[in-house]
Chains A and B, each alone.
Chain A
Amino acid sequence: MRSSKRGSALVASGMVGALALSACGGGGGGGGGEGGEAAQGGRVVYGESTDFPENLFPNIAAGNAVSTANILRGILPGTHVILPDFSVVYDENLLAEEPTLSTDGGTQVNTYVIRDEAVWSDGTPITADDFEFTWRSSRSGDPADGGCASVLSTNGYEQIASVEGSGENNKTVTVTYETPYSDWQGLFSGNFGGGLLPAHLMDNPDPVALCDTLTAGWPIGEGIVGDISGGPWQLLADNIDAGAQTVVLTPNPEWWGEGPNLDQLIVQNIGNDPTTAVQGLQSGELGVIYPQPQLDLVDQVEGLAPTVESDITFGLSFEHLDFNTLDPHLGDINVRRAFTMALDREEIVAQTVGQFSSEAEVLQNRIYFNNQPQYQDTAPEEYKQQNTDMARQLLEQSGYTAGPDGIYTHPQRGPLNIQIDTTANNPLRQQTIEVMIPQLREAGINATFNANPDIFAGADKPTSLEAGGFQAALFAWVGAPLRSPTQSIYSTPQGDNVQQNYSRQGTPEIDALFQQFVSQPDPDAQTELGNQIDAALWEQVATVPLYQKPTFIAYQSAIEGVEDNSTQAGPLWNSETWTAAQ
């Protein structure tokens, strides 16, 4: 009987490779959870198109991969989750009630109450000790301060003064900040690239020994320390096949929440070749894919309907232009304004992301995205439509004269040739620039396309953004719903330290607004500040937002519950609720 089930699992087509172990219902082995009416059992293969992780510890360089985040999503518990509509809500599985926020006396205090039933997969209760350890392991990158240089980000944690436990079973956590921190919901949260760490398995009172533990992380060959999980899924070391680049997630037997409904969630690295993803779906070898959208790919997948369903949404990554204000031409605000006015951004969107979805629209804000409730269109009217005449006037005001070929030239700066750099082998960006070039030429600006392989390299590569060896650059910022990290993009550079302000343009007004923005925990007040900042950024036009990048999810119709979450939460954000028809 069992053998025949295996056999049928092997030959099942249209679904995700093989299907159920316990397909006949009734009898045993139905995985975890009281499933209610949800179908139990089955397996789904998720085709991971980003790099297979070499290390599963998310707080160090080696674990900083999208694939790691996707795997850990259902393993490391966290205080907040990001929903597909970009809202940030507390995780009711971990917390018994909504965390409190107090900003009395110039500091900030957050209180979390952990559910009594919340335990790690080895039965150890999740307590304030885990919060305290998570903070301590990420609070500093300076070994002299007891920190660890391997830690990828100390953002937010460095502002915490203390993390204290209290209450019955140490389940109440009080986090006190030295100064208010607006993005507090992003700390202790798996959806934001981290999550709670198991203190009982990792803590060490000696900072040097602790740093060694953190630096070693969780190598893929060894798996997660103690095979630990505090979420619906568990990854046993035996279920990692680093050679075949697959991991098999199975239900956490100690999980106290609902789901998972599947017996196995398999993450298989398939590379970023779109043909592989489509053919994998077509043959039934893959259940869910989340590739970078390309026109051919989207068309092919849509052709697989109704067996396969797909959806395009717009995520937290946006394409924009950066002008290098150290460039002789682009240092002149009139040139930057003329450049921006010469662009028909509606047309750019129509010719690029508009091909994917009719919902694509021009992004008019750098701090918030079109589909965030905080979003306001802060762009001045003069930049909303192409205005070639006005652009020419501005250039002439700055001393430019049109040459016989229609291109403006300046007596000192020379002809108005602007090279737009972007990443190599990115058709969407190339198409964006190719649409821009004739638009700019109408205004007398001679723009050219340059695929720059060193664009994101360090300052030792002369043409990199860091080194400032470019004129204009087109690339994307990958963001989060919580927007404080944008400070490093727009703050005035301090000497050689530009942070991420590659345009090298800043004003005291913007700096002051950002100071308030990052320390304002009240969401409404912060929204107002964010939109004020963006209005001030438009006055400088050192950067021009273009559009949000689309994300694309496709899955077998037989799998229910799949929904794109185009934030860091990723496509597996609700995988414990998925069911597979058998």
Chain B
Amino acid sequence: MLYFTIRRLVGSVFVLLASSFLVFALCAASFDPLARYYTLQPRPPETFFANLREELGLNDNFFVRYWNWLTGVVTGDFGQTINGTPVADQLFGRMLVTGRMIVLAMVIAILLAVVVGVIGAVRQYKASDYVLTFVVYLLIALPTFWFAALLKEFVAGGVNDLFGQQVLYTIGEQTPGLELYATSSEIWLDRLGHLVLPTLSLALLAFASWSRFQRAAMLDVLGSDYMRLARAKGLTHRRAVLKHGLRNALIPLTTVVALYVGTLFGGAIITEQVFVWNGMGRYLLEDGISNNDINVVLGWLLVSAFFVVLLNLVADILYAVLDPRIRLG
């Protein structure tokens, strides 16, 4: 196991290196951070352009720029944005914002996926299975941005109308300026109101595909010999399903969930954009790509890739831990 883990870790470093080099090359070839100043009226003086090129290292050749970035990252310095803010300062806070959304969404999605998957398997081809399958496929088919927009338009509006007051919010992580006059309980309530829709948006789409995996795994298990043996030994159907069936059927889902984290990061980019959550996704789109800022894009990439690689590794290890028949070496 240790050898396997070390081998995967070393491999991951090369994955991170290769992906960062590739993205750096793409950004360096297509980004021009000075572009927004050329058509400014009045046009800035040439000294300004020369100074900015020097400051941003644009006069250096490509390999020197990449090397400078890489050596900085090794020492924890992710460089500065084109406007002079250290990227590392932003990454941590942004990770917390995105992390809050993703972790909560994962918890909700896992619980829902297990319940719906088990019901679907146990009641296979019954009305409830057909209804759940229909709903799940509908969710799988919905694009993230559209589903999020529907939640904002109908769920938020409907719930708020129902309560006659603002319960669910559609913009930001909390009502701006609230801390200047509200109590801590009011702030927490407000944050919860802001958290519900983006989390649901992310969770429901993730749950949809996970529940299909859970259903398939459960069906496999239900048809296995040891389940029949358990029933023959006199265990109730409920006990056999929950104690013997579900535990074994959870193993494949663990892997799927861990591997799906990368997709969740992708979904979070859209969700953050729609709900104006200033997490990693908006950092990439607004501060990185829109601003032609190579350090921001690479900062995002490195953090995202790190978590994806880490969770893939965790998935492999968990698989071995949960299923003693699997040996890694």
Contacts and interface: CB of A to CB of B under 8 A. Distances in A.
Contacts of B304: none
B278 A11 contact: no
A3 to B, nearest CB: 7
A271 B38 CA distance: 24
B286 interface: yes
Interface string B294-314: 000000000000000000000
Nearest to B44: A152
B93 to A, nearest CB: 5
B112 interface: no
A477 B153 contact: no
Interface in B140-165: 149, 152-153, 156-157, 160, 164-165
B186 A10 contact: yes
A465 B170 CA distance: 40
A283 B170 contact: yes
B276 A283 contact: no
Chain A CB count within 10 A is highest, among B42, B43, B175, B181, for B42
A327 interface: no
B316 to A, nearest CB: 34
Contacts of A460: 32
B83 A43 contact: no
B171 interface: yes
Contact of A283 (B149, B169, B180): B169
B276 A270 contact: yes
B174 interface: yes
For the complex, would chain A's binding face be called helix, strand, loop or mixed by DSSP majority? loop
Interface stretch (A13-21, A329-337, A396-404): A13-21
A9 B84 contact: no
Interface string B4-29: 00000000000000000000000000
B175 A18 contact: yes
Contact of B42 (A271, A273, A488): A488
Interface in B112-150: 149
Contacts of A216: 84
Interface in A135-165: 141-142, 147, 149-155
A419 interface: no
Interface in B28-44: 30, 32, 34-44
Interface residues of A, number: 79
B38 A456 contact: yes
B45 A286 contact: no
A373 interface: no
Nearest to B179: A241
Given A7-B186, A248-B176, A243 B93 contact: yes
Nearest to A156: B42
Contact of B97 (A52, A243, A283): A243
Contact of B182 (A6, A153, A243): A6
Given A10-B182, A244-B174, A219 B85 contact: yes
Interface in B163-193: 164-166, 169-178, 180-183, 186, 189-190
A154 B276 contact: no
B171 A280 contact: yes
Contact of B276 (A6, A61, A155, A271): A271
A219 B174 CA distance: 23
Contact of A61 (B48, B94, B177): B48
Given A10-B182, A219-B85, A268 B35 contact: no
B47 interface: yes
Given A152-B37, A246-B172, 20 more contacts: A9-B182, A21-B181, A54-B84, A54-B85, A61-B37, A61-B82, A149-B50, A151-B45, A243-B278, A244-B176, A244-B278, A245-B278, A268-B171, A271-B276, A276-B171, A283-B157, A283-B171, A456-B32, A458-B34, A465-B38
5 contacts: A18-B178, A273-B273, A458-B35, A465-B38, A500-B43
Q: Please list the 5 inter-chain residue pairs (A to B) with the smallest Cβ-Cβ separation, ordered nearest first.
A: A149-B51, A62-B83, A11-B165, A485-B42, A141-B47
Interface of A: 3, 6-7, 9-13, 17-18, 21, 43, 45, 47, 51-52, 54-55, 61-62, 64, 141-142, 147, 149-155, 216-217, 219-221, 239, 241, 243-246, 248, 264, 266, 268-271, 273, 275-276, 279-280, 282-286, 453-454, 456-458, 460-461, 465-466, 475, 477-480, 484-486, 488, 499-500
